[in-house]
Amino acid sequence: MLKKAITLALIIIAVYWSFSALMPNKISSLDADTKSFSTERALVHLKEISKQPHYVGSKNHASVKEYIVKELENLGLEVQLQENYSFNRKWESFTKPTNILARIKGSDNTKALVLLTHYDSNAHSSFGASDAGSGVVTILEGLRAFLSQGVTPKNDIIILITDAEESGLNGADIFVNKHPWAKNIGLVLNFEARGSGGPSYMLVETNGGNHNMIEAFKKANPKFPVANSLAYSIYKMLPNDTDLTRFREDGDIEGFNFAFIDDHFDYHTALDTYERLDRETLEHQASYLMPLLDYFSKANLNNLKSDDDDIYFNVPLFKTVSYPFSWILPMLILSFIVFFVLIYYGIKKQTLNPKHIGLGFAPLFLSLIINGLIGFLGWKVLSTLYPRYNEVLHGFTYNGHTYIWAFSFLAIAICFLIYHKFYKPKNAGNLLIAPLFLWLVICTLIALKLKGASFFIIPVIFGLISLFVLVRQEKPSPFLMVLLGVPVLVIMSPFVKMFPVGLGLGILVASTVLITLIYSLLVSIFNTFQHKKRWSYALFFIAFCCFVSAHLNSKFTNETPKPNSLVYVLDLDTNSAIWATYDNILDQWTEHYLSDNPDSVRASNDIPFKSKYGTGFTFSKNAAIKNIDAPLVEITKDTIIGDDRHIRISLVPQRFINRIDVFSDSRNVFKSFNINGLEVAKKDNETSIFNNRKTNRLFGFYLANQEPLNLSVTVPKSQKTEFQFYEASYDLLENNAFKIKKRATHMIPKPFVLNDAIIIKKTITIE
């Protein structure tokens, strides 16, 4: 009995260790050595930066910029500002960012190291404490500590705090493509956030192989590395970009991203505040910056490019482990050979039985099917039972962590319940054959389709050693079997949480399947547990308690507020107006304007605004026409030369606005297109500008200085060209013409959409 208790304790400790080793558990104080980083000192900056939303064009945007400039100057650095127009074709964004730059001169004429983050917050309600105020203060405090050491770096260190990252990486664009400093950069360290807590993940950005980058990262020796080649393989598949994307794609410059993703429900919302940023997470960012700054300020940055790729992953004690891609197939083939040799040896030794081996596939696949269905259908059922969850566009609800616990315990309970019918004394080796075979098949598929996950073979290797022990010994030491099970626990357990946190609760199936796969490799341990059915009942009860807890915390409160939305749209073409919302469920605040009987989905057909998740307007209602200053839209040139028609259109706002969205029929041909003096280039193999558009949207103009919009376009002379302009301001709640009441304290503006906005539509037709 004592051995079983110790065995269980060791398993729990291994799982706990896999998470606790990921990041610091305490922060550095204000009285820390002046030559070292202090998180509490960094928080002093963060409190100032994140007082108010500071998106491009907002009143607080300039204040944050001035604060950062002053702090860099206080460090003795000469600061320069870079300003220029930028257009991002992928994001369809146009704006005039203002970058903040400084440079520490190195002793040698070598390539420069860039410390990168951005200072703009997401429009319009985010306070930007995590994204990316955390990056700004990490760099400010890190620089202070570095300069206090009085050491002259070998390489130049460029500090680049970009603007307009949130609108479309526009600040990074003008630096990489228009600033002379960009021509001699060897490496970029970028600090980002996609949540407000949790460990910070290191992601490599390179156009070639990662071998030299990973080797350099290991030599820099950060204390809490959280990095694996699977995470980056998944990252590359997602439509997510950071400023570092511009460096890689436009400048072929290597870089490391450091981004935390937990508490994803705070991302881009009014909850991204100074108070909600996890302090240990900020400490974790610093634990990357300081050793990497020290190492790469002296390292040869000319040798980071490589043609070879490495598998890499992190484990406690050993930190970052890596090996070449060229090892993938040999390790896989050797594992298959050892697997079949051990089966042959076990059968010959009569410690394995072909019949029992075959029966071992039944509980494995039954567990996988049931847990897979639970993970796949479970969230669909819950989001149906709790339709309010759909208002959280992130896909990760406030009680999301509780659901991860609930589904995890449920999956383990099902494994115990199913496997208990197949457990027999001395049968552990037979039951281990099926899991090892399935893991080997998975590793084969990974080797063919997702090489970054090929470190999955490491738990298999230890599983093969366990099989060897079981074949050789009738009653192996349970402590030895736990020791051989530690690799699968410490390597794979964090992924149970990482997948739904990073990709949303809709991917809980990855967690339940992974739990099953981990359990299957530990059957030799669980085979020694008595009363397995009772264990399953106990785990079912724990899962039930988690679901109850999630239910009790499913409502929107002051701490977990409901995201909602409201806009006013004035159509100058039809002289009509509507209220509109993106919400699926109206609440007391939105019902006041849309009534309890709104027109369903009308607005989504008329107004082409959607979130990054594809969600558009859901309800609308006719509204009174308000006296709002309409933009002055003029055709200042209309000339036909040969087969071409040259047109100039000017839109001059007559009120304070934040953005102008421009639409035109996707079938229209534009031979040239100029926005405020910036010529839009054709893509490769394009016969015209904006060719092969899937929608009618051309671009969104995010105003930095209330400048007018001037378009100069060339179209075929016979083409009827129509432009729809949507001029928007984020002042619906402050505008005296509406007298909108404030949201209740258990509500926040919905992110990722054009929200709290007064929108004016105006169409211009050239025939």
State pLDDT tens for residues 727-760.
999 999 999 999 999 999 999 999 999 999 999 9
Contacts of 66 by beta carbon, 8 Å cutoff, 6+ apart: none
Range in 158-167, 270-279, 330-339, 607-616 the model is least confident about: 607-616
Taking phi over 0 as left and psi of -120 to 50 as alpha, with beta for the rest, 634 belongs to beta
Structure tokens at 508: 């809980």
pLDDT attached to residue 603: 44
Please answer whether residues 486 and 466 qualify as being in contact, where contact means their C-beta atoms are separated by less than 8 angstroms.
no
Q: How far is CA 567 from the centre of its chain?
A: 28
Same domain, 507 and 363: yes
Tracing tokens 């859901």 back to the chain, one arrives at: 618
Residue 671, exposed/middle/buried by CB under 10 A (0-12, 13-18, 19+)? middle
Tokens of 707: 């400048």
DSSP letter string, 74-121: HTT--EEEEE--EEETTTTEEE--EEEEEEEPPSSS-PEEEEEEE-PP
Does residue 341 surpass a pLDDT of 90?
yes
Based on the domain organization, do 134 and 274 belong to the same domain? yes
Gap between the Cα atoms of 599 and 597, Å rounded: 7
- Distance, in Å, from the CA atom of 219 to the CA atom of 735, rounded to the nearest integer, reads 56
Selected residue with higher pLDDT from 614 and 429: 429
- The mean pLDDT of 451-465, rounded to a whole number, is 96
Does 200 score more than 70 pLDDT? yes
- Strand 310-315 to strand 319-324: parallel, antiparallel, or no bridges (unpaired)? antiparallel
Query: For 200-226, what is the mean pLDDT?
Result: 95
Beta strand 599-600 pairing with 747-749: unpaired
Question: Residue 383, SS3?
Answer: helix
Please say which residue of 491, 520, 552 terminates a domain.
Answer: 552
Instruction: Report the run of H or E that residue 757 belongs to, with start and end.
Output: strand 757-766
Helix, strand, coil % over all residues of the chain, rounded to 5: 45, 20, 35
pLDDT for the residue 239: 67
Q: What is the pLDDT of residue 150?
A: 93
pLDDT digits (tens, 9 = 90+) for 19-31: 999 999 999 999 8
Q: How many residues does the chain have?
A: 767
The pLDDT tens digits of the residues spanning 588-631 come to 999 999 987 777 665 445 677 877 777 788 999 999 999 999 99
Average pLDDT estimate for 108-114? 92
Buried b (16+ CB within 10 A) or exposed e, 91-107: bbbbbbbbbbbbbbebe
| pLDDT confidence of residue 157 | 98
Which DSSP symbol is given to 133?
A: I
Mean pLDDT of the chain: 94
Q: Are residues 411 and 427 in the same domain?
A: yes
Range of the domain at 44: 22-300
Distances (CA, A) of 483 to 172, 433, 767: 48, 19, 78
- Tens of pLDDT along 367-407? 999 999 999 999 999 999 999 999 999 999 999 999 999 99
Q: Determine the 3-state secondary structure of 280 from DSSP.
A: helix
Q: How far is CA 347 from CA 56, 122, 351, 541, 547, in A?
A: 70, 63, 6, 40, 45
Would you call 187 helix, strand, or coil by DSSP?
strand
Query: Looking at the structure, do residues 707 and 565 belong to the same domain, yes or no?
Result: yes
Q: CB atoms < 10 A from the CB of 183, how many? A: 10
Out of 90-104, 105-119, 412-426, 449-463, least confident range: 412-426
In this structure, are 183 and 112 located in the same domain? yes
For residue 312, is it within any domain?
no
Say if 34 falls within a structural domain.
Answer: yes
Sheet with 112-118: strands ordered across: 79-83, 98-104, 157-162, 112-118, 185-193, 255-262, 197-205
**Percent residues over pLDDT 90 in the chain:** 86
Per the DSSP assignment, residues forming a β-bridge with 678 are 675
Instruction: Supply the pLDDT for residue 601.
Output: 60
> Is the pLDDT reported for residue 298 higher than 50?
yes
165 contacts 242 by C-beta, under 8 angstroms:
yes
| Residues 70 and 184 placed together within one structural domain of the fold | yes
Q: What is the pLDDT of residue 387?
A: 95
Domain assignment of residue 381, yes or no: yes
Is 320 a member of any domain?
no
DSSP 543-581: HHHHHHHHHHT-S--SSSPEEE--EEEEETTTTEEEEEE
**32 against 609, higher pLDDT:** 32
Burial class (CB in 10 A: 0-12, 13-18, 19+), 741: exposed
Q: Mutual orientation of helices 39-49 and 59-74 as an angle, nearest 10°? A: 150
Domain contains 313 = no
pLDDT at 36 over 80: yes
- The answer to whether the CB of 196 falls within 8 A of the CB of 280 is no
Beta bridge partners of 386: none
Q: How many CB atoms lie within 10 A of CB 503?
A: 17
Let me know whether 155 and 292 are in one domain. yes
Does the residue 282 lie in any domain? yes
In a domain, 368, yes or no: yes
**Domain-embedded: residue 471:** yes
Whether residues 338 and 252 share a domain: the answer is no
CA angle, residues 762, 765, 767, in degrees to nearest 5: 175
Q: What's the structural domain count of the chain?
A: 3
CATH number at residue 171: 3.40.630.10
> How does pLDDT run across 676-731, given as a tens digit for each residue?
999 999 887 788 999 888 889 999 999 999 999 999 999 999 999 999 999 999 99
Domain endpoint, select from 284, 300, 316:
300
The answer on pLDDT for 424 being more than 80 is no
Q: Is residue 345 domain-shared with residue 269, that is, in the same domain?
A: no
Q: Are residues 272 and 218 in the same domain?
A: yes
User: Of 300, 334, 366, which residue sits at a domain end?
Assistant: 300
- Same domain, yes or no: 221 and 271: yes
Three-state SS for 309? coil
Reply yes or no on whether the pLDDT at 164 is more than 80.
yes
Tokens of 561: 């507020």
Percent share of the chain, pLDDT over 70: 98
Would you state the pLDDT for residue 422? 85
589 and 466 belong to one structural domain: no
At residue 604, the pLDDT reads: 46
243 burial class (0-12, 13-18, 19+ CB within 10 angstroms)? buried
Distance (Å, whole) CA 505 – CA 564 = 20
Facing residues of 619 across strands? 581, 600
pLDDT at residue 241, as a whole number: 84
Give yes or no for a cis peptide into 132 (omega within 30° of 0): yes
Q: Is the pLDDT of residue 767 over 90?
A: no
pLDDT tens by residue, 507-537 = 999 999 999 999 999 998 887 777 788 999 9
